[in-house]
Each structure stands twice: as C-alpha cells, then as structure tokens.
Chains A and B, each alone.
Chain A
Amino acid sequence: AQSVTQLGSHVSVSEGALVLLRCNYSSSVPPYLFWYVQYPNQGLQLLLKYTSAATLVKGINGFEAEFKKSETSFHLTKPSAHMSDAAEYFCAVSEKGGSQGNLIFGKGTKLSVKP
C-alpha cells in the first residue's frame, strides 16, 4: 500500500532562511505527488504537484519541490521564508492508475517562522 512519511512534525526557521520540508513516499510505482498548505482555520490549498513531467516542480508562493526516484523523496523548499509562510504543510500521494479518491496524506509538518 502506498504511503507518505513527513519527517518532522514541527519545523522552525528564521525569516529569510531556507525552508526545507521533507516527504518520502512508499509506492511500488512512481506515484503522483502533491504538496498542500493549510493556514489556521482554513481548508487546504494546492502548492504544487508532480505528475511525471519535469522532476523539479515550481509552485505558488515561491515554493518548489524535486522528485527524486532514487531517494523516493519529494521535499518542499523555499529559498527565503516569510512570516506569511507559517502554516501546516501536507504531502500527499496518489497512485497512477489507482482507484479514484485515493489521495493519501502525510501527517503534516507545522512550519513556524521567527522574526
């Protein structure tokens, strides 16, 4: 069964510092991968997705992620953190050819940004 693991339930960075949120997937075939962000008392917003085109995916708000098959990873990065980036981030996976509605979420990483 496919799954995603997000290393670190809480990451804290200083404003202007690099943001790195880790996600590793477990799947028998390269899956589709997604990053979502959730601000307090809000729904989830799609940041970016990997669907087997370019391995480096650029998303909204300056975020990007790189699909590395050899490492089964899809880490999310941003060169310079802003205070407004403080939120919960979820990595999610769905399997190519899989049944509908099988978007599996990781447990989430809460990002704090210090001034």
Chain B
Amino acid sequence: DTEVTQTPKHLVMGMTNKKSLKCEQHMGHRAMYWYKQKAKKPPELMFVYSYEKLSINESVPSRFSPECPNSSLLNLHLHALQPEDSALYLCASSQGTAANYGYTFGSGTRLTVV
C-alpha cells in the first residue's frame, strides 16, 4: 500500500458545525502533515506530527484541532469555521522528518464553509 487516503473527498459545513477530516496511511511512515491549499496557491503547512506527537503548529487558529490516534491515522477536527477557511485540505506522510524525505500526499478534502 503506497497511498495516503483522505475522507471525505468533499465536505460542506455551516459555521456552527463540528466535523472531522480523516487521513490514513499504511506505509509505516512516522511523520504526518496537514496542509491547507487555497485556489491557485501552493500548499501551506498547518501541523506536523512526528512519531504521533505534535511537533509543529504553524500558528493555526484553535478552530482547527489535530489528532493522531496512532501511527497510521491523522484527524483534523473542525469547529466554528469561517467562510475563508474554505480550501483543499491535504494530508501527507513521510518516512521521517529529515529534510531529504519526499512526501506522499493524499487527494485532499475539498472543504466549503457556508
């Protein structure tokens, strides 16, 4: 298995809703990442997990809450989002956090906040 699987593929939520994005990989990768990508822009790093521990939070608002229940799963819990949070949310994984590892990306969750 050489994939990162993200669910759901599309999500529409209201500003008062609570929802979660899920990411799963079975490649034995020990680093997992959440990125946010706005239209026609490059991905922007949100969170890094290394060996299931949060190691980087790029000043992301608290309405985004990551969770890494085990080495294969990464969740992003969403609460009280704003319309400007609408974007493609990408999960990625890598063997480790050393700088020379390439990332494997999932196909993303297209989030629309109404």
A-side interface residues toward B, CB under 8 Å? 31-32, 34, 36, 41-46, 49, 51, 90, 94-103, 105-108
The secondary structure that dominates the A interface is loop
**Which residue, A36, A43, A98, has most C-beta atoms of chain B within 10 A?**
A43
Inter-chain contact B31/A100, CB cutoff 8 Å: yes
How many A-B contacts if CB must be within 8 Å? 66
Task: Give A46 to B104 CA distance when docked, in angstroms.
Answer: 7
Task: Give A102 to B105 CA distance when docked, in angstroms.
Answer: 15
Number of interface residues of B (CB under 8 A): 27
> Nearest 4 A-B pairs (CB), nearest first?
A100-B97, A43-B105, A105-B42, A101-B48
* B42 proximity list for chain A (CB < 8 A): 90, 105-108
* B65 proximity list for chain A (CB < 8 A): none
Task: Give A105 to B92 CA distance when docked, in angstroms.
Answer: 14
Inter-chain contact B4/A43, CB cutoff 8 Å: yes
Knowing A42-B108, A49-B100, A90-B42, the reply to whether A100 touches B48 (Cβ < 8 A) is: yes
Knowing A43-B105, A46-B104, the reply to whether A102 touches B110 (Cβ < 8 A) is: no
